[in-house]
Amino acid sequence: MHNKGLVVQKYGGSSVANVERIQKVAQRVVETRKKGYHLVVVVSALGDTTDELITLANKINTNPSEREMDMLLSTGEQISVALLAMAIHKLGIEAISFTGAQVGIITDTSHTRARIIKINTDKIKAELKKDKVVIVAGFQGVTLNQDITTLGRGGSDLTAVALAKELGADSCEIYTDVEGIYTTDPRIEPKAKKINAITYDEMLEMASLGAQVMQARSIEVAKKFNVPLHVRSSFSTSCGTMIIKEVDKMEDVVVSGITLNKNEAKITLCGVSDKPGIAVRLFKHLAEAEVSVDMIVQNVSHTRLTDISFTIAKSDCAKASKITKKVARDIAAGEVLLNEDIARVSIVGVGMKSHHGVAAKMFGIMAANKINIEMISTSDISISCIIKKKFAEIAVRKLHAEFGLSL
């Protein structure tokens, strides 16, 4: 076969959820191979396997050893690669599967969230030279001491991006169960459109603000090494979304997408003496308890007392409340309020950098629709507002329309 270059393809859990889907993936791999491309295929665990294994582990030990958890969870991807290899063989194409350990994905020792240190690509290159499709278990690696590690949620994306970088692949395709990245969640705004191209920075903002198509860390790595990504559907052949360094836009697009996150809660510590060091104390305790704090707002104090509000993941509510209440007692502050009835609506777009008045326009849209903004946070290329949960969907739709995404 004429060698047209190397493609890394990554298939998520929903793409290999059952026998039929594995066969579909095999067909797509074989089609790409027959077009003359060499392939490295990264696969996640079948369907909900990972969650099922976690449930099983928790029945045995509610606080399982992270090393043993990695030993357990890494089996999910190992099953996938073996089955996919068999499905590809069935179609008459040579293929060979590898675990992360076999292929030399060396990580640090941070079990359940390990970072890749280096990848030894000799084995992959040798098999590619033999014209074999190389299938690599996603989500996993191995320490120098031969302990199996996993790379955290969505880690298969990272495996694919890192392999694409190390192998100098011509493209890295991320197959998923949606057509690509959308201007917003189509379940909320049916007029949402697939984005043809988006920058790494925009995608990073979208990922961290609630769009769950790709793991944020893998986008960071792709950005760092300029690995072009193509997010597309494993159920259709249409083009998806290219994630690249810079996007030449035909028109002057200011906002690329709208995201919504309903998984946060707000905690307010009232009646705090407005003196230096108080906020530090609170957030130091939260950090020690591994509570990730997102937005922080401290009201301008008219008296000598002030309120501090911050948002956290809902799953950290109990822990964060307890810590905040303890700090409140220690510093003789007022009451601690917990509000789970909030949503975060964000607009994202590199165009904001060169346009003034985007924030003002966003706030104006909210006001025109009588939506009160409780907190605001901004970055270079995004603006987020915390609002009452009941206004979430209407806010997304209005912003989508007013920023010209519904056209």
First-to-last alpha carbon distance for the chain, in angstroms, is 45
Task: Write down the residue that tokens 């675990």 correspond to.
Answer: 99
Cβ distance 50 to 13 under 8 Å? yes
Tell me which of 82, 253, 293, 401 binds its own copies, using CB under 8 A.
Answer: 82
44 near its own copies, judged by CB under 8 A? no
The minimum distance between CB 237 and its own copies, in angstroms, equals 23
17 near its own copies, judged by CB under 8 A? no
81 near its own copies, judged by CB under 8 A? yes
- Rounded to whole angstroms, the maximal C-alpha distance in the chain is 78
Tell me which of 61, 226, 273, 315 binds its own copies, using CB under 8 A.
Answer: 61
Contacts of 19 (CB under 8 A, 6+ apart): none
The minimum distance between CB 90 and its own copies, in angstroms, equals 5
130 near its own copies, judged by CB under 8 A? no
- Say how many C-beta atoms besides its own lie within 10 A of residue 328's C-beta: 18
146 near its own copies, judged by CB under 8 A? yes
Taking CB under 8 A as the binding criterion, the range among 29-37, 49-57, 185-193, 336-344 that sits at the site for its own copies is 49-57
Cα 192 from Cα 198, distance rounded (Å): 15
Cβ distance 221 to 162 under 8 Å? yes
Q: Which of 236, 243, 179 is nearest to 216 (CA)?
A: 243
Residue closer to its own copies by CB (options 59, 356) is 59
Cβ distance 214 to 154 under 8 Å? yes
287 near its own copies, judged by CB under 8 A? no
The minimum distance between CB 191 and its own copies, in angstroms, equals 41
Tell me which of 7, 29, 43, 101 binds its own copies, using CB under 8 A.
Answer: 101
65 near its own copies, judged by CB under 8 A? yes
Residue closer to its own copies by CB (options 92, 277) is 92
Residue closer to its own copies by CB (options 98, 310) is 98
Size of the site for its own copies (CB under 8 A): 36
Of 19-38, binders to its own copies (CB under 8 A) are 19, 22-23
Q: Which residues bind to its own copies, rule: CB under 8 A?
A: 19, 22-23, 53, 56-57, 59-61, 64-65, 67-69, 71-72, 74-75, 78-79, 81-83, 85-87, 89-90, 96-97, 99, 101-102, 146-148
